[in-house]
Structure 1
Amino acid sequence: MISILVSGFLFVSDIFGYTQPVSAPPATPRHTFRKLAWSDEFNYTGLPDSTKWKYDVGGNGWGNKELQYYTKARRENARVEGGNLIVEARRESLMPGHEYTSARLLSKGKGGSQTYGRFEIRARIPGGRGTWPAIWMLPDQNPYGNHSWPDNGEIDIMEHVGYDPNVIHASTHCKAYYFRINNQKTGVTKLPDATTAFHTYAVEWTPETITAEIDGQLYFATRNENTGWEAWPWDKPFHLLLNVAVGGEWGGQKGIDADAFPQQMLVDYVRFYQMKKE
């Protein structure tokens, strides 16, 4: 990957020829992320560790007209085996009015919340038209604005939609910049084997910048404009979410290939590192 700074923007061009401009981070004190603060290596078998993970449950569309029903502590949808967490979306009529099941795990209230640092997840994501896997972060509390999304922020470490295979997105959303007004801060890159191989997806978050990378290669950066919480609500603890959605306003834009299911997201590890200044 080649990075070129031009007129205040960082153009990140990967070896596959896909180029995406992202805001260049300003000059700041150097940060290191050496202290492991929280992790799950998934070196056990069974349900996800209940001391580290809980579940969002239900099938209300989740604000995006998604079609899946998220279950709780159901091995068919979330389990650990072979050294990996498996989040599985299945075509099945388990709940009335829903043709698909899946799982959405979150680290909130389980020690997996942090303000600033490095957040690293090694995963293999699912394919199949209609899938919408995500590795992302939300705030533990909502003190700003109307006390709801997007005022208090969202950090998307990795998103992928099955109808656009092997194109990876990282984004931030807040009151001033978010997808419903089509001005969210976003980085996009191609990863030809995203659905067949493991890759390390990471975000580094400081008071000045949020950057995203894959396998150590930067492809997204946004900076604090210092104009208030509307543009930068990222100054309080956030937790991690891991899920595979089905359909929805983005994932379902090209329909759903029902024959593609079941589909799995495999997670090798999750690691949070604390920020230190040098």
Structure 2
Amino acid sequence: MKNRKIYLGIGILLSITVVIFIGINVIISERREKKMNIDGKNKENMKLVFEDDFNENGAPNKEKWRYDIGGSGWGNDEKQCYTDELSNAKVQDGKLIITANKEKYAFNEYTSARLLTKDSWCYGRFEIRAKLPKGVGTWPAIWMMPENSDYGAWPQSGELDIMEHVGFDQGTIHATAHSLKYYWKANTQKTAQIKVDNVDTEFHVYAMEWRPNKIDFFVDNQKYFTTEYDPITDKEEKWKSWPYDKPFHLILNIAVGGSWGGQKGIDDSIFPQAMEVDYVRVYDLGIKK
């Protein structure tokens, strides 16, 4: 009888241990799955299709990048002239460094750089690890524009802003989707903001996951903005509210001043100012085009 009680006690103890072990593993698994779904880091079904780790010093890789050049204001009353000079864009110590300088160039008082990928993509995860400039008058951006104007001139063919930051509002990161129906000049753009500490002293990962009817935006794997196509609200032709079914290229730049970046003026004492990019990665999500 005594032995039976001992065996029974051992059996109960083992059963409890197994249940606890299984329970803990289920919780861990659920938490891991939840985290991966929330933070956008589940890349099991993603394929890396573009990468630049900026490991070769000198000019940006000509096989991957091209430049916008000029100082026409770029539709935003920007004050810089974009150049292809090494003083404005170079690769050094494992980073792409885009620098805005206070210097006369052509008819402008400032210079900077605006780089565009030679490749373009329709759908995917776009991931950029970067450290931003600081100071009133700076306007760095990581964004995407259509390779072709299939639906017409801006904003008809769309624009996707993965990260924008204006120096007079330090630490506020903006993400925005523009279309004919929703864009900033009409004050109808779909947008969101998130406060991020130390954007000018630490690297942060800015990311976007673009799917056929849904686009998610992240900072350091925290999703803070989602925009979706709504067939009920947007009953007219789909492209007017959702032109995001064509290839877009990626753009990295620092503007100086402008209709938004220059709302509080430009502090000339801050220059030069740089945006440093540790890497750029693009993943295919396995979506059939």
Residue aligning to 1:139: 146
Instruction: After TM superposition, give the deviation of residue 179 of structure 1 in Å.
Output: 0.3
Could you tell me which residue of structure 1 aligns to residue 33 of structure 2? none
- Flag the 1:40–1:33 CA change in 2: closer, same or farther, 3 A: farther
From 116, 127, 132, the equivalent of 2:123 is 116
Residues 206-221 of structure 1 correspond to what in structure 2 (within 5 A)? 206-221=211-226
Distance 2:178 2:72 in 1: 22
C-alpha distance in 1 between matches for 2:126 and 2:186: 27
Q: 1:249 aligns with which of 252, 259, 268?
A: 259
CA RMSD in angstroms, aligned pairs only: 1.3
Whichever structure has more strand as a proportion of its residues is 1
Q: Does 1:200 align with 2:205?
A: yes
* Other-structure match for 2:59: 47
User: Could you tell me which of 61, 66, 84 is aligned with 2:73?
Assistant: 61
Residue 117 of structure 1 and its aligned partner are, at CA, apart by 0.6
5+ residue gaps in structure 1? 1-29
Displacement after TM superposition at 1:33 (Å): 5.1
1:233 aligned to 2:240?
Answer: no
**Match of 1:260?**
270
* Alignment equivalent of 2:175, drawn from 142, 150, 170: 170
- Measured in 1, the distance between the counterparts of 2:245 and 2:279 equals 25
Q: Is the 8 A contact 1:31 1:276 kept in 2?
A: no
The amino acid of 1:45's aligned partner reads: N
Instruction: Read off the aligned partner of 2:97 and give its amino acid letter.
Output: I
Output the amino acid matched with 1:222.
Answer: T
Give the equivalent residue in structure 2 for 1:94.
Answer: 105
Greater fraction of residues in helix: 2
What residue in structure 2 maps to residue 159 of structure 1? 164
Structure-2 separation of matches of 1:186 and 1:272: 22
Deviations 1:103-152 (A, max 9, x none): 00001xx2x211001000000010110000000000001111xx210000
Structure 1 counterpart of 2:132, one-letter code: I
Compute the displacement of 1:243 (Å).
0.3
Q: How high is the TM-score relative to the length of structure 1? A: 0.85
List alignment gaps of at least 5 residues for structure 2. Answer: 1-41
The one-letter code matched in structure 2 to 1:81 is: Q
Separation in 1, partners of 2:44, 2:163: 22
- Cα displacement (A) at 1:276: 2.1
User: Displaced runs of 4+ in structure 1, greater than 4 A?
Assistant: 30-33
Q: Identity of paired residues, percent? A: 54
Per-residue CA deviation, residues 60-103 of structure 1 (Å, 9 max, x unaligned), is 0000000000002x1100000010000000000122x2110000
TM-score, normalisation: structure 2: 0.81
Give the greater-gyration-radius structure (CA). 2
Tell whether the 8 Å contact from 1:121 to 1:271 is kept in structure 2 after alignment.
yes
